[in-house]
């Protein structure tokens, strides 16, 4: 570590940092961050390296992207025709710019991005199509017919999941990432596809929303099926089944989670800290860590049935969060009775978190490792004072928030390597 230069005053350091971002980050790297003015380290937190957009996504073929964008274009055209038949002063708004973005991505050969925009745009275009169908009293707007269509979509999604229920792999770190992405997509499909509620009446807006859910679910499912074909090509017919291991891991992870305090117990502990010391930086840090490590947690909903890998990964992430919580509390750089917080701690912690991220995740992680660690990378991304320009008053609250993001990311990254090895060993 470079020693603090004794001849530099805080005023001189501040003036030098103002010369530009390069000078700013250079100064921060040359001295202890807590020796610098908060005005310097607040800004420095924004310009330190971070792992933006590191999450792995399965690639999409040109043919699939073109088909998806084409379906959105057809839906937009159909909407124009239907709305021209309506006697209304309202106007058809199409896909709200999503179709144009999808076409631009397609032209740039960004096929996954084109598929993403087309799928997102379908929600807007199809909703307006559904509204028009309802107002024109077309058969496609019948709630029972929409529910039957939704059921058929969910059945197709179930068949897709069943096609790899033994999770055959040739390369676990790679292939489990593919299966996880498919299951995650199926979760959205099940959520979006219509289910009939016989105890209510539907107006045109309701029909539009239900129709759009079905159309978007169909596009998502087609993408999941596309990825299923690709992973089958990668694995072949001789993959080693992983289903039993995944089930065992799920049981073990959840058993370990049960050894930790409940959410309610952690909340009561934090409330006791705040009652004793007041709502200062330490109490805020404890609230943030408890919320991020216990409240944003795994759960198994009705539409998760059969999605064993995805729910096991979420259990692994929940276990890492609980372990990280205890480590982070022990490492907090403030005392319970502090009434302010030096943002130099944000800079130091973010640099440490990024160093660990490079060591654990690297530039080209296996798909499953990328998925496991995705939230840790996002935490480092937002570990900056005034994230998105939203400063809290008093300013120490924003500094504590950024510091805790970096701290919990670093602690979670300590936990992920052994958890990842349990999947792929």
Q: What pLDDT digit, counting tens, does each position of 74-90 carry? A: 999 999 999 999 988 88
How far, CA to CA in Å, does 144 sit from each of 140, 175, 194, 363? 9, 39, 10, 50
How many whole angstroms separate alpha carbon 205 and alpha carbon 202?
8
- Contact at 8 Å (CB) between 377 and 55? yes
**Residue 86: per-residue pLDDT:** 93
- Give 40-63 pLDDT, tens digit per residue: 998 999 999 888 777 899 999 999
**Residue 303: per-residue pLDDT:** 64
Q: Is omega for the bond preceding 220 within 30 degrees of 0, making it cis?
A: no
- Contact at 8 Å (CB) between 41 and 33? yes
**Residue 176: per-residue pLDDT:** 98
Q: Which two tokens stand for residue 89?
A: 């002063």
**Residue 305: per-residue pLDDT:** 85
**Residue 15: per-residue pLDDT:** 42
pLDDT 10s digit of each residue in the chain, 425 long? 334 444 444 444 444 443 444 444 544 554 577 778 888 998 999 999 888 777 899 999 999 999 999 999 999 999 999 999 998 888 899 998 999 999 999 999 999 999 999 999 999 999 999 999 999 999 999 999 999 999 999 999 999 999 999 999 999 999 999 999 999 999 999 999 988 776 678 899 999 999 999 999 999 999 999 999 999 999 998 899 999 999 999 999 999 999 999 999 999 999 999 999 999 999 999 999 999 999 866 666 666 888 999 999 999 999 999 999 999 999 999 999 999 999 999 999 999 999 999 999 998 999 999 999 999 999 999 999 998 888 888 999 999 999 999 999 999 999 999 999 999 98
- Give 390-406 pLDDT, tens digit per residue: 888 899 999 999 999 99
**3 state SS of 167:** coil
Element (H, E) at 292: none
How many whole angstroms separate alpha carbon 175 and alpha carbon 16?
50
Element (H, E) at 10: helix 10-17
The domain ranges of the chain are 62-241, 261-424
How many whole angstroms separate alpha carbon 35 and alpha carbon 44?
13
**Residue 198: per-residue pLDDT:** 62
- Give 298-310 pLDDT, tens digit per residue: 666 666 888 999 9
Question: Strands 240-241 and 168-169: what pairing?
Answer: antiparallel
Q: What angle in degrees, to the nearest 10, is found between the helix axes of 395-424 and 38-47?
A: 30
End-to-end CA distance of the chain: 37
pTM, to two decimals? 0.89
**Residue 4: per-residue pLDDT:** 42
**Residue 185: per-residue pLDDT:** 97
- Contact at 8 Å (CB) between 8 and 32? no
How many whole angstroms separate alpha carbon 116 and alpha carbon 68?
9
């Amino acid at each position: 570590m470079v020693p603090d230069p004794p001849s530099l005053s805080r005023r001189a350091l501040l003036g030098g940092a103002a010369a530009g971002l390069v000078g700013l980050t250079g100064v921060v790297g040359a001295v202890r961050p807590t020796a610098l003015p908060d005005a310097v380290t607040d800004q420095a937190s924004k310009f330190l390296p971070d792992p933006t957009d590191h999450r792995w996504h399965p690639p999409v073929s040109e043919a699939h992207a073109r088909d998806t964008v084409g379906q959105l274009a057809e839906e937009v055209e159909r909407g124009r025709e239907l709305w021209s038949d309506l006697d209304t002063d309202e106007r058809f708004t199409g896909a709200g710019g999503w179709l144009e973005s999808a076409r631009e991505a397609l032209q740039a050969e960004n096929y996954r991005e084109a598929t993403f925009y087309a799928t997102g745009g379908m929600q807007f275009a199809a909703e307006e199509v559904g509204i028009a169908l309802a107002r024109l009293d077309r058969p496609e707007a019948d709630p029972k017919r929409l529910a039957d269509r939704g059921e058929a979509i969910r059945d197709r999604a179930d068949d897709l999941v069943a096609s790899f229920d033994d999770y055959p792999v040739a390369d676990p770190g790679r292939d489990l990432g593919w299966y996880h992405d498919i299951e995650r997509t199926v979760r959205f499909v099940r959520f979006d596809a219509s289910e009939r509620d016989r105890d209510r009446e539907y107006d045109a807006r309701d029909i539009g929303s239900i129709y759009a859910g079905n159309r978007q679910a169909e596009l998502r499912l087609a993408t999941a099926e596309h990825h299923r074909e690709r992973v089958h090509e990668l694995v072949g017919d001789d993959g080693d089944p992983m289903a039993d291991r995944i089930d065992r891991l799920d049981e073990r992870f959840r058993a370990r989670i049960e050894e930790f305090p409940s959410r309610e117990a952690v909340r009561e502990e934090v409330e006791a800290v705040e009652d004793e010391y007041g709502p200062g930086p330490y109490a805020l840090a404890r609230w943030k860590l408890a919320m991020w490590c216990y409240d944003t947690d795994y759960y198994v909903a009705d539409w998760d049935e059969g999605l064993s890998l995805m729910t096991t990964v979420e259990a692994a992430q929940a276990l890492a969060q609980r372990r990280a919580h205890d480590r982070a509390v022990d490492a907090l750089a403030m005392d319970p009775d502090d009434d302010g917080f030096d943002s130099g701690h944000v800079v130091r912690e973010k640099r440490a978190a990024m160093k660990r991220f490079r060591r654990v995740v690297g530039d080209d992680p296996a798909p499953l490792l990328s998925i496991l660690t995705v939230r840790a990378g996002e935490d480092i991304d937002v570990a900056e004072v005034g994230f998105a320009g939203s400063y809290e008053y008093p300013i120490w609250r924003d500094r504590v928030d950024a510091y805790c993001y970096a701290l919990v990311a670093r602690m979670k990254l300590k936990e992920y390597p052994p958890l990842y090895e349990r999947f792929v060993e």
